[in-house]
Amino acid sequence: MSEPLVEVRDLYKHFPITKGILFQHQVAAVHAVDGVSFDVMRGEALGIVGETGCGKSTTARLITRLLEPTSGSVTYEGRDVTKLSRREFKPLRGEIQMIFQDPYSSLNPRKTVGSIIAEPYKIHRLKQGKGERKRAVQELMEQVGLNPEHFNRYPHEFSGGQRQRIGVARALALQPKLIIADEPVSALDVSIQAQILNLLKDLQRDLGITLVLIAHDLSVVKHMCDRVAVMYLGKVVEIAEGDTLYNHPRHPYTGALLSAVPVPDPDLAAAKRRQVLGGDLPSPTNPPPACRFNPRCPKAQELCRTDEPLLEPKQGGGLAACHFPLTDGEVAERVATADTA
């Protein structure tokens, strides 16, 4: 947990909105990721949370280079992956793997589970012997809690939770150093979610894999992650150690998010004064000037509309991009946490 495995610096991704058929011209751009910088430490689990449209999935796709950034760099083990050619990047694809949200659309329905999991071997020309490949696939299935005898079955014969296990097995095939899981449990039933979360946690611990977990569910991220980054409209607004973030949030948006999560405890729910955030998420095509949270922020002042706050260390908390960070007193008023339980 000392040195960074991935360094993300000033990452931008703008999707152009064009008009016209023959003479296309860009009329605007969706600022999906708008100047994001953070490190992922070796062996840690980093959570990225935020609401729909905050750019968390785009960030994941930029790190794995499923998308090309507009500008900025992603350095993986000292090499800027955004500058590598496709051929140079190919060996790294094995080291950086992704688990997707929807276990239904991320598996080819016409392939058997065995060949889905063996696909990475085929692409990277590994385990060429037939018996060798089958053995490796069955070991992977065993490792993720699937019955290895089922390698000849098709995805539709499996439940959602089992499918997600297939996705995990495929991601593990090339012994990755970094796994990026994009909402790995949000499509699953409640009683199944815990099975997959426990599996990911065990694998991460046992194999020493670095995990980037992207989720909108703050409870899931709290359970899984050492550090958490909170995104809002294409920017990281706060990043801190898990306990620090959940007990001492400094950005008002983090505070609002935490207070919005319903707590499964009627006593706490009755005691807690929920701070309800007004308004809707502004359009990422035309984000508000300076601090992007200012139109919805209960603490906003003139400065927030003119000067953009930098991501800086805040007293008693982690890094936050805010001119008027929350104090512990305000947090106690608004957020129910383990301390008050």
Residues at the contact surface with another protein, assessed by CB under 8 A:
51-52, 159, 161, 189-195, 197-198, 216-220, 222-224, 242-243, 246, 256-269, 274, 276-278, 280-281, 336-338, 341
- Map residue 224 onto helix, strand or coil: helix
Closest distance between another protein and the C-beta of residue 134, in Å?
27
- Dmax (CA) of the chain: 69
Tell me the closest approach of the beta carbon of residue 253 to another protein, in angstroms.
9
Using the minimum distance from each CB to another protein, give the nearer residue, 177 or 250: 250
Please report how close the Cβ of residue 71 comes to another protein at its closest, in angstroms.
Answer: 28
Q: Residue 92 or residue 228: which is nearer to another protein going by CB?
A: 228
Smallest distance from another protein to CB 254, Å = 11
Residue nearer to another protein on the CB measure, 8 or 168: 168
- Rounded to a whole number of angstroms, the minimum distance from the CB of residue 242 to another protein is 6
> Based on CB atoms, which residue is closest to another protein, 64 or 337?
337
Strands (E), the chain: 4-19, 25-41, 45-49, 71-76, 79-80, 96-99, 178-182, 210-215, 227-232, 235-241, 311-313, 319-321
User: What secondary structure does DSSP assign to 70-129, as a single string?
Assistant: SEEEEEETTEEGGGS-HHHHHHHHHHEEEE-S-TTTSS-TTS-HHHHHHHHHHHTT-S-S
Tabulate helix, strand, coil % of the chain (nearest 5).
35, 25, 40
Q: Closest CB to another protein among 82 and 193?
A: 193
